[in-house]
DNA sequence: TCCTTGATCAACTGATGTGTTGAATATAGG
DNA sequence: CCTATATTCAACACATCAGTTGATCAAGGA
């Protein structure tokens, strides 16, 4: 999955909050409703509802309908898009470091 | 490399800005000074200087001294810490999806 | 239909973030 | 010493964000 710049903005901003990261961790173990996600936190359900909207706008989760409930589901492909963005630059940097080391070793011999 | 919650806050928040992401991309190709990093952007160097401080506080870059210059260097291990945090939950979710699929297939037979 | 539960909308507050301008600091070089 | 260059600090404006309370909407069950 490839993402545009706005999607990266929203995704990284979504992860830049401990409450939303804890929700991601919870959802990795299975779907959950607003009430279930709210349970561990000392904040109102309205606040939790908005955290969920942030995650959904980022594409990190989707929502289904189950009667009155609106269960949330993690979207692994969206997470994968972030890691591949980061890995791109990490790997490039590590390659450069290895080339530098090789050059140093060559010069000292 | 393992990071604490505050470090994750700062790192993801640092990446939630297109200017800082472009700086990461630039630095993956080699060290650069404030002036070099500022060049592509229509903002003041003071603003660029603060973007750099944000990246440094997140541990994503380090800085050295070269006369008046303060070159920035990307820290691949810090990027790796982020991808492994994300991958942890992505892989857990994908494992769960595969178990679900297996169960469905078993029940339909 | 009435009441309860799950979830969201609207308006407001305080904190944080990103940008500006202007002044200050530090190092290199004549 | 004096000046130019690289960078940072300080103070301010403006926008966005996370939280609150109170009202509203939607679906289920007696």
In CATH, what number is assigned to the domain containing residue B103? 1.10.10.10
Protein-covered nucleotides of chain D (CB closer than 7 Å) are 5-10, 17-23, 26-28
Using CA atoms, how far apart are residues A80 and B69, in angstroms rounded to an integer? 37
Residue A14 structural domain: 5-108
| Distance, C-alpha A62 to centroid of its chain | 13
Does pLDDT of B6 surpass 70? yes
Residue B104's pLDDT band (boundaries 50, 70, 90)?
confident
Does pLDDT of A109 surpass 70? no
| Average pLDDT of chain A to the nearest whole number | 95
Neighboring chain B residues of A96 at a CB cutoff of 8 Å: 28-30
How many other CB atoms are there within 10 angstroms of residue B71's CB atom?
A: 18
The nearest CA of chain A is from the CA of B13 a distance in Å of: 5
**pLDDT tens-digit profile of B9-60?**
999 999 999 999 999 999 999 999 999 999 999 999 999 999 999 999 999 9
Residue B65's pLDDT is: 96
> Which CA distances in Å does A39 have to A16, A44, A74, A107, B60?
20, 10, 18, 61, 33
**pLDDT tens-digit profile of A25-79?**
999 999 999 999 999 999 999 999 999 999 999 999 999 999 999 999 999 999 9
How many other CB atoms are there within 10 angstroms of residue A14's CB atom?
A: 25
Q: How many domains does chain A have?
A: 1
**% chain A with pLDDT above 90:** 86
| Distance, C-alpha A88 to centroid of its chain | 16
Distance A31 CA to D20 C1' (A): 28
Residue A47's pLDDT is: 98
> Which CA distances in Å does A97 have to A49, A69, A88, A94, A102?
45, 51, 15, 5, 9
- Residue A44 CB lies within 7 Å of the nucleic strand D: yes
């Amino acid at each position: 999955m490839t993402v545009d710049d706005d999607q990266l903005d929203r995704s990284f901003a979504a992860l830049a909050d401990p409450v939303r990261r804890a929700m991601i961790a919870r959802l990795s173990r299975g779907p959950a409703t607003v009430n279930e996600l709210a349970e561990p936190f000392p904040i109102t359900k309205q606040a939790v509802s908005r955290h969920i909207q942030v995650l959904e706008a980022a594409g990190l989760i989707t929502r289904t309908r189950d009667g009155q409930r609106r269960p949330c589901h993690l979207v692994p492909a969206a997470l994968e898009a972030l890691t591949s963005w980061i890995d791109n630059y990490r790997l490039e940097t590590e390659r450069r470091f290895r080339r530098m080391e090789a050059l140093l070793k060559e010069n000292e011999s």
